[in-house]
Structure 1
Amino acid sequence: MGRPVRRGTRGDAMSDSAKGILIAFVLLILGAFGYWWWHENMELRWTSVEHESAAAAADPMLAATRLLRQNGRSVTGAGSLGELVVPQTAGGTMIVSGASGTATPDQARELLEWVRRGNTLIAEPRWIKPAEEALIAYSDEEQAEHEAGEESEEATEEATEEEAEPQAAAGEDASTTDEAPAADAADEEKTAEETTDDEADHDIDPLTDHLGVRARPDALACKCRTEPDEKDKNKPEAMAKARLAREQALSHLTLPGKQYALELDAGTTEMVSLVGAAAPLWSDDDGGAVRVYGEGKGRIVLVANGFFTNSKLPERDHAQLLLALTELTPGKHVTIVKRLNVLPWYKALWRHYQLALVSLAVCLALLFWSAVRRFGPILPAPKAERRSLLEHIDASGAWLWKADGGRQMLLEAARDDTLALIRRRVPALFRMPEGELFATLARTCAIPEADVSEALQQDAASHVTRFTRQIRTLQTLRNHYER
C-alpha cells in the first residue's frame, strides 16, 4: 500500500512568498507617505519670510547708513534738500537719493559750490525728453554718414581714373537727390532745438545740465528681461534670450587703482550723453550705470539706478561701490538726503524768520497808519437835502447812456417829440416825400441836410460828438417851429 503524495505544495509556497513581498511593499509605501504627511503638516520648521521693518519703511537709506557707520564713517541724515543748510554741511560725501532733476536753481548752486570745495556728490540725472532724444539720434546719424563718406573717399582715391569719372557723376546725382532729406534733417534739428529751448524753462536740471547727462529706459535690457512662456523655456531661442538677459543685467566698473571689476545691477535704466556733453573722469564699461565727473576740487558721481537703497544695496557689489565712492574725498562724513519732499510751512517759516518778521512789521505799520488817519472827534452827519429835478434827469441820462439800448431810447424820445410838434404846426410838410421833407426842413432852419437826415432817420450814434449833434439838430428844429 503506497504513501499518499501532497500535490501543489511548491506552488502554494511561492504564492505565499509573493503575497508577503507585496504586503511589505505596500506597507513601505504607506509608511513613506505617512512620514511625508507628518513632516509636512505636523513638524515645525524655520522658514525665511521677507519682511520690512518699520524703520526700513520709514528710511529707504537705513541699510546704507548702518553699513557706512560700521566702516568708520560718520553719517547724518536730512529729510529733504529744503531742510538741509548746504553751506553749513560738513565736508565729505553727500548722497541725494532719487534726485532726478528736482533740485531748485538755488539748491543746485549751493550744492555745486559745496562740491568745488573738495567734496563728493552722488545724485541721479533727470529723464530725457523726446526732443533731446531726437537730437541724439540725429547726431548719431550724422556721424555715421560722415564716416561712410570718409570710407567712400578712400575707395575713390584707390580706384582708377576711368572708374572715378562715372563715380563722380553718380555722386553728383546722389547729392542732388539727397538735398531734400538733408534739409528735412536740418529742419528736424532746428525744431528739436526750439522745443528743447521751450522745455528748458519748465523742466530743467540745474544740478547736472552743465554735464549734459540724461537718464532713459534701457530698451534692450527691458526686452531681454521679458520672461518666456513656460512651454518655450527649453527652446534654443529662449535659452539664448535668457543668456543675453543675464549679460545685460550686469555692468562692470573698474575703480581707479584696482585690478578687478565690480559687478553692478544694470537695471532697466541707463545714462546717455547729450550733444556736447562733458567727458567723465571714469565710468563703467559702457557709461550707462555710473559716471564720475570733476567739479573744481571735488567729484560729482551720477548713477542711473538707486544702488544704495535698502532693496538694492545687498545685491551684487553695490555695498563695495558705496564704500569706494565715499573714499574719493578725504572727509569721512557722509550726508544722506533721504527724500526730496517739500519743506513744511512751519520749518520754512523758522528758516526764513527774518523775512517773516519784516513782513509782519510792514503790515503793522500800514495798519497803524490807517488807524492814525481816523483820530479826532467824529464829524456830524451831513444833512440830507432834496436834489433838484435836473440832477435826476442828468443821472437818468447818464444811466441810459451806459445801458444797452439806452442811447437809442433817448434819441427816439427826442425825435418823436420834435416830429409831433412839426406835424401840429405845419402838417402840409408831411405830405412831401421823405427826401423833400428833409431838404425843406434843412433849408428852413438853415442847417445841413445831412444833419437833418442823421437826426431824423439814422440810429443813435455810439460816439459822444455825433450823438450830441443829433440831439442838437432836433432841438434846433423844435425851437424853430415853436416860435
Structure 2
Amino acid sequence: MKRRYSLLIVLALALLAGGGYELWNLFFHKVWRGQVHFSDEQVKNPMLAATRLLEASGHKVRLEPMLNYQLLNQLPDGVLLLSPYARQPDERQARLLLDWVKRGNTLIMTPGWVQNSDDKADKPEVISEQLPDPMGKHFGVAMSGRTRVDEACRLDPLEAKRRAKLAAARKAKKDEDEEEDDDEPEPPAHLVCLNAPGAANTIELRRQEDSLQRFEGKGPAPLWGDTLELSVLVYAEGKGKVAMVASDRVESYFDNQGLRQFDHGELLLLLAAQSGPTAPVLVVQHNETVSWAAWLWQHCRPVLLGLAALLLLWTWNATRRFGPLLPAGDSVRRALIEHIEASGRWLWKLPQGRILLLEAVRKRTLQQLLRRLPELHALDGNERARRLARLTQLPEALVSDALLGAPAARAADFTRQISILQQLRAHHER
C-alpha cells in the first residue's frame, strides 16, 4: 500500500512539474516573435515605396490626396501618376488631362473595367460604347477579365508555388472524400514580358487577374507595350505620352507590396523617365468629380462676380430706401375722411381729375343757391357772380373764378376756388 501511494505521489509531482514548465514557457518566458507592422506613413500612402524609389532616382515627388478642378488647372510639367483605386476622370477632367499631356507631359493611369469582353470579342463596337471612362474611350482600351496569357514569357514562380499548394490541398481533400476531382486544370501562370525602348533588358511583370484589352479601330495604335498587350500600353498624345497600366482590384504594380516583385520598380522608373531622366512626379491618390458650381466659377467668374455686385447694390439700395422694418399696423377700420382724402389725391393726379372735383362742388353749390335764391334762375353766369359777391361781400373776381373759371393748375389756387364755393354754401345755409 505504501509503495502504491509513493508511486501516485511521484506521478502527481511529475505532472505538476511538466504543467508548471509549460505554463512558465507560455506566460512568463520572453521570446522573440515576428509581427507584421505597418507604419502610419505607409498606411496613409499606399505608394510610399514608389515615392522613395523615385526620389532615390533623382525625381522630385509630390503627393496630392485629391485630383480636383483647382489642381487640374495648375498641373506642373512632368509626370502624373493616378492611383488605380481613384474614380475615373469625367469628361471635363479628361479634356484638361489630354491638353496637359499634349504639351509634352506623361500620364500614368489605369483605364476603366468592362464586362463580358470575351463573349463580345467579335463585336468591339458594342464593348467600346460601354467603356466607363472617357480616357479609355479616347484610346480604345479598357480593363477586362480575359484569360489570355503570355506564353512567350517564363513561368511565374510565386504563382506556381501558390497553385502547387492549392493542388496539394485539393488532393488531400480528394483522398479524404474518395471522390473524383472534375475541376479543369488552370492554364500555366506565365509572367508578362515587356521589351520597351530604352530598357536594358526584358522587363518581367506579374500577370494580373484582369488585363488590358485594346479595341481595334476605336483608338490610336500604341507606341509600344508588352508582348501580348496585357499589362502595359503607351500611347502618343501630342508631344506627350499616356501609359495605360493594368491593375488588380486589390493590388497594383506600384503599391508598397507589389513594387518589390519582379521588375515592377524598373517599370515605374521607365515610365517616369518618359518626360526626362529627373522629371518631377505628381502622385494622386484619389479623384474628385467636377461639380457644376466649380465649373461655373472657373469659366464664368466675371459674370458671377458682376451678378454678386449687382445683388449687393440692390440690397444696399433697398435697405437705405425702406429703412428698418416697422411693427405691423393695427387692423382697425379707417375713417371715412381718409378714404375721401385718398380718392381726392388720386383724382388730382389724373389728367381730368381737377375738372371732376371742381364740377362736383359747383353743381352741389348751385343746387343749394337756386333753392335759396330763386331769382338766380333768370340771371346768366356773370350776373350771378356779381349778385352773389355783393350778397356775401366777397371779391367779385374770386367768386367769378370759382363759379365760371377753369380748374387752377396750382394746388393753392385750386384750394381757393373750392373754399369760395364752400363759403357761398355756408352763407346761404344760415
Q: TM-score by structure 1 length?
A: 0.49
Match of 1:314 in 2: 260
Structure 1 residue 317: Cα displacement = 1.1
Equivalenced residue count is: 291
Q: How far, CA to CA, are the matches of 1:127 and 1:79 in structure 2?
A: 23
Q: Greater shift after overlay, 39-48 or 111-120?
A: 39-48
Q: How far, CA to CA, are the matches of 2:293 and 2:30 in structure 1?
A: 53
8 Å contact 2:102–2:239 — kept in the other structure? yes
If each structure's helix is expressed as a fraction of its own residues, which one has the higher value? 1
Q: Deviations over 1:246-301 (max 9, x none)?
A: 32xx2111221445311111221101112413221111111010111111111110
CA gap 1:100/1:290 in 2 versus in 1, 3 angstroms: farther
Residue in structure 1 matching 2:144, options 208, 212, 216: 216
* 1:246 correspondence with 2:194: no
Structure 1 residue 102: Cα displacement = 1.7
Structure 1 residue 382: Cα displacement = 8.7
* 1:276 correspondence with 2:224: no
8 Å contact 2:204–2:262 — kept in the other structure? yes
* 1:107 correspondence with 2:48: no
Match of 2:279 in 1: 332
In the alignment, structure 1 segments of 5+ residues that lack a partner are 1-32, 140-188, 387-483
Match of 1:138 in 2: 123
Residue in structure 1 matching 2:47, options 42, 48, 61: 61
Match of 1:232 in 2: 171
* 1:96 correspondence with 2:82: yes
CA gap 1:233/1:271 in 2 versus in 1, 3 angstroms: farther
Residue in structure 2 matching 1:119, options 94, 105, 117: 105
8 Å contact 1:100–1:125 — kept in the other structure? no
Q: How far, CA to CA, are the matches of 1:308 and 1:94 in structure 2?
A: 13
Q: How far, CA to CA, are the matches of 1:231 and 1:347 in structure 2?
A: 56
Within 5 A, what are the aligned runs for 1:154-233? Answer: 192=126, 204-219=132-147, 227-228=166-167, 230-232=169-171
8 Å contact 2:62–2:283 — kept in the other structure? yes
Structure 1 residue 136: Cα displacement = 3.2
* 1:297 correspondence with 2:283: no
Q: Deviations over 1:451-475 (max 9, x none)?
A: xxxxxxxxxxxxxxxxxxxxxxxxx
Q: How far, CA to CA, are the matches of 2:324 and 2:293 in structure 1?
A: 41
Aligned Cα RMSD in Å?
4.8
8 Å contact 2:112–2:142 — kept in the other structure? yes
Report the secondary structure of 2:194's partner residue: strand
Q: How far, CA to CA, are the matches of 1:303 and 1:85 in structure 2?
A: 23
* 1:361 correspondence with 2:309: yes
8 Å contact 1:118–1:329 — kept in the other structure? yes
8 Å contact 2:80–2:106 — kept in the other structure? yes
8 Å contact 1:100–1:124 — kept in the other structure? no
Structure 1 residue 133: Cα displacement = 6.5
Q: How far, CA to CA, are the matches of 1:39 and 1:346 in structure 2?
A: 68
- AA matched with 2:226: D
Q: How far, CA to CA, are the matches of 2:209 and 2:260 in structure 1?
A: 18
Q: How far, CA to CA, are the matches of 1:43 and 1:353 in structure 2?
A: 72
Structure 1 residue 116: Cα displacement = 1.2
Report the secondary structure of 1:60's partner residue: coil
8 Å contact 1:252–1:262 — kept in the other structure? yes
Q: Deviations over 1:72-108 (max 9, x none)?
A: 1111111111066335333221101126762122222
Structure 1 residue 111: Cα displacement = 1.4
Structure 1 residue 49: Cα displacement = 2.6
CA gap 1:74/1:259 in 2 versus in 1, 3 angstroms: closer
Q: How far, CA to CA, are the matches of 1:255 and 1:232 in structure 2?
A: 42
8 Å contact 2:87–2:288 — kept in the other structure? no
8 Å contact 2:118–2:146 — kept in the other structure? no
- The percent identity for this pair of structures is 28
Match of 2:59 in 1: 73
Q: How far, CA to CA, are the matches of 2:334 and 2:123 in structure 1?
A: 82
Q: How far, CA to CA, are the matches of 1:370 and 1:354 in structure 2?
A: 26
Q: How far, CA to CA, are the matches of 1:279 and 1:76 in structure 2?
A: 31
Q: How far, CA to CA, are the matches of 1:320 and 1:238 in structure 2?
A: 41
8 Å contact 1:94–1:121 — kept in the other structure? yes
Q: Deviations over 1:413-445 (max 9, x none)?
A: xxxxxxxxxxxxxxxxxxxxxxxxxxxxxxxxx
Give the ranges of 4+ consecutive aligned residues of structure 1 lying more than 4 Å apart after TM superposition. Answer: 36-47, 132-135, 223-226, 237-242, 341-360, 369-373, 375-386
Structure 1 residue 64: Cα displacement = 0.9
In the alignment, structure 2 segments of 5+ residues that lack a partner are 1-17, 150-158, 175-180, 337-430
Structure 1 residue 47: Cα displacement = 4.3
CA gap 1:275/1:353 in 2 versus in 1, 3 angstroms: closer
- AA matched with 2:283: I
- AA matched with 1:120: T
Q: TM-score by structure 2 length?
A: 0.55
Q: How far, CA to CA, are the matches of 2:23 and 2:173 in structure 1?
A: 35
Structure 1 residue 71: Cα displacement = 1.4
